[in-house]
Structure 1
Amino acid sequence: MKSARTYPCDPVDVDGMINLDFDEQGRLIGIEVLEASSKLPEYLLQSAKRLDIEGA
């Protein structure tokens, strides 16, 4: 699915960058957590679907 708009966010409580991707109708279709491996728990990283690799 292709993103129509991406909004970068820099929430203070997270201490990192988050990108929110929206489709043409304004629906949230993706959340990118930059430096996720240092921000999120391992169990969440293991269950996440990566979209930045071939065949994902």
Structure 2
Amino acid sequence: MKISYDSETDALYIRLLPGSHECRTLRLNDEIALNIGPGETLVGIEVLDASRVLGDGAAPSLSVENLPLAAQG
């Protein structure tokens, strides 16, 4: 999983699967879209206006619990 945040556009993207996938986009609302890949697999989640949607107007923070961290190489 890879989470990226672009402060210039205030967009957050959560990539659940590595690599390139041909996807269709399912819009949940104006701010949140799901990228659906082959076999109806959820590939990624896009959040626009992330600081407003996920927080109190500040850049979103991240907390990771009970997940082993991958070795940095």
TM range (shorter): 0.5 to 0.7
TM-score by length of 2: 0.44
1:26 and 2:40 matched: yes
Q: Give how far 1:25 is off.
A: 1.3
Q: Which runs of 5+ in 1 are unaligned?
A: 11-15, 48-56
Matches within 5 A, 1:1-56: 1-10=20-29, 17-41=31-55, 42-44=60-62
Over 3 Å off, 4+ runs: none
Letter aligned with residue 8 of structure 1 = R
Letter aligned with residue 24 of structure 2 = R
Tell me how many residue pairs correspond in the alignment. 41
What percentage of residue pairs aligned between the two structures are identical?
34
- Alpha carbons of structure 1 residues 17 and 3: separation in structure 2 relative to 1, 3 Å: farther
Q: Give how far 1:18 is off.
A: 0.6
- Alpha carbons of structure 1 residues 3 and 38: separation in structure 2 relative to 1, 3 Å: farther
- Whether the aligned pair in 2 keeps the contact of 1:20 and 1:32 (CA below 8 Å) is yes
Tell me which protein shows more strand as a share of its residues.
2
Q: Which has the larger radius of gyration?
A: 2
RMSD: 2.3
Q: Which runs of 5+ in 2 are unaligned?
A: 1-19, 65-73
